[in-house]
Chains A and B, each alone.
Chain A
Amino acid sequence: MKRVVITGAGTINPLAHDVAGTLAAFREGRCGISDLDIRDKDRLAIQIGGQVHDWNPESHFNRQQIVLYDRFTQFTLLAAREAVAQSGLNFAGDLSYESGVILGTAGGGLTTSDENYRAVYEEGKNRVHPFVVPKLMNNAAASHLSMEFQLKGPSFTVATACASSNHAMGQAFHMIRSGLTRAMLTGGSEAMLCFGGIKAWEGLRVMSKDACRPFSANRNGMVQGEGAAVFVFEDYDHARARGAEILAEVIGFAMTADASDIVLPSKHGAARAMAGALRDARLNPEDVGYINAHGTGTAANDKTECAAVADVFGHHADRLMISSTKSMHGHLIGGTGAVELLACIMALREGVIAPTIGYEEPDPECALDVVPNVARQAKVDVVLSNAFAFGGLNAVLALRRV
């Protein structure tokens, strides 16, 4: 089996339009959740979100590209350009055929759907722009990355709601580990902060109207975010041979299905996913220093996740750190695991653990070290990144410092 390393990272999210700015925000415990700036906001009960502000697609794409790229594709391309530039890879010759792209998204081009439903239903128009389908399809971002970087190997999009990015990155990991490919662009993207996208979530009544406070006793729901993160996963030998800088090693991955409820999380499903990732990476529970939690800030997720951690790690659960960066960038749904992987890489490389901000009151059902409010210096060798989706589909990645 091949070893798999990360040699490039890129992002745009509510905290910053690049990795450096995002990590600075993590270190400062800065909140990127703000008042929403969208059409028909006055008809929404939810007025806040982790929105990407100051986004000018014209600075990055030409007119023909903009008419073809939904917001989620634009975010993906920006993040991918940063990741590929950092990796120094040029996907030419044989490498082009041995590289692909696997991305996660839940809503795909939801903004495009929203705008065009509005045009035909609300405004009564009988004609829509010819690019509606190529813009809204969930694989649009993956396809545009394949075109921009000439990735001609296995490429597709994964949709497992809030675990989409982790499932996508797990597939990329498996492909390189098995020798099927040598390099992969992987991660995820989401741009659901439009009227319909928020109205749908409102309906579920799991949204907070004021803040995302994971693990805090007074938490009152999740806050939606948007953005993307993309990574270059690469065969370790390939990366070493060309002298690439290695950000971290991906050492394990596991997926499970709760097979129980379409929205309620299951402790057993989450625990099996974490235990599976440890087994896959040949780790003991004591090896893990930090877990980037799914930590949505809902009553159900956070207590279930903490109970699952306690089950898997036993006494070590009280010694490891677990934080949710969703408190800062919101829940990026299908893109969330990718942005959160940045906090894992920061923990391994810089020895800085991103905090859970907005933490106000201890909850006896979440009695773990959640790194409240302030980032912490700590040397960790191994981290896990959790993602537990609606529909009971769980995906956990294990990473190691190199």
Chain B
Amino acid sequence: MKSVRIGAGLGFYGDSWRPVRASIESGGVKYIASDHLAELTLAILQKDRQKDPNAGYARDCVPMLIELWPLAAGRGVKFVMNAGGLNPHGAREAVARAFREKGYKATIAVITGDSISDRIDDLQVRGETLAHMDTGADIGSVRERLLFANAYLGAAPIAEALAQGADIVITGRVADAALSLGPIMHELNWRWDDWEKLAQGLTVGHLLECSGQASGGNFGSAGEWAKVQNFLHLGYPIAEVSEDGSALLTKAPGTGGRVSFDTLRQQLLYEVHNPHAYFSPDVVLDMGTLHFDDKGDDRVRITGAGGAKRPDTLKVVAGYHDGWMGLGQIGFSWPDAYLKCETSANIIKGLIEERGWALDDINIEYMGYNALLGANADASQRDSLNECFLRMTVRTKDKRIAEGFSRLFPWLGLSGPPYAGGLRGSERSRELLGLWPTLVRREAIEPGVAIDVEAVA
């Protein structure tokens, strides 16, 4: 039976591609599906583009391909990556420049048409409300502050780019799982209305889109996480998808980590809302009938995904300017570590009040006590900590206040409570972005999708 092997690439902008080597060299993969865009990554890329119009893509795709392409090319391994971000052509230009310097050859496709930021008025005229998907709010409230707006495209343009001979496909925003579903559709020639097979393909793509999280990384548990072997050489997940839709999840031989029923079901439900209706541009997946058969030795067979017809709309996420954040931090050792942090927080609040600074929000966290656990921290430990760090953040419309906030902290070193360290008192302000998820009919977006294939030599 015909099948295709796909290996996970990155799981976010900044992730490591070191484990991808093993998937290429000994994992038998034909494709690497690399996800560079978390939900907030476009916000980061937007800031890059504001500084430099040639930027706005995930820059890590260049060194990644420079290192991996020599291994991949000889084996016929292809890359599908959403590293294009807000500037897919810019990403290809950067890769092409680097390839020419090295003498590498490749056919590189660019997929565009996901960005709708310059079409907002046009879409509204055509009857798209662009109302907030969850709250129903009118987009008028953020219209003037919009910085980007991108639709999640599906697998079809990726499959088409591969059919046109691309070795490397660079996209902007696509559904993360489409990075795998595209090659699956290209290789296995399933019909685009075979919902159950598409649902299996979507399941595979979803399992691969967060790199090490499907193979033992971030295995959320007490005690059990420590059984995961050899984090240092953790292998990224690999899926072998067969023509009949069944899939085998595994990883390259000899690598660390673990692929099991436990590690895979954690990833399956990760960042999913209703598991009986997991929407993608290509199919709606029902996870309630999935069957994971753990064969041992890091091999899990997956069957049974439920599929329903693809939605008539595509999800769009827009980002808008939403003020500035200022951050300050100072730590204290025993004795009375927490009390000294609390005292410092009160001093800082007093300084803000004296200055009459207008803040929209203030956030006070005690690292070492409740910065991650919040109200679920064990209060009985509070007054006997070895050390504790005060972290304060503020949100304000005024950039100067955000910038000045951090500079309130150094003074505490000589004129506050004793035994301080870990000062962060000269932090830059950070622009905050709100996200605006909405739905747009696919006919309003898909005619604008373009595939541009070019040989780099």
Pairing of A with B: no
Binding site for A on B (CB under 8 A): none
Binding site for B on A (CB under 8 A): none
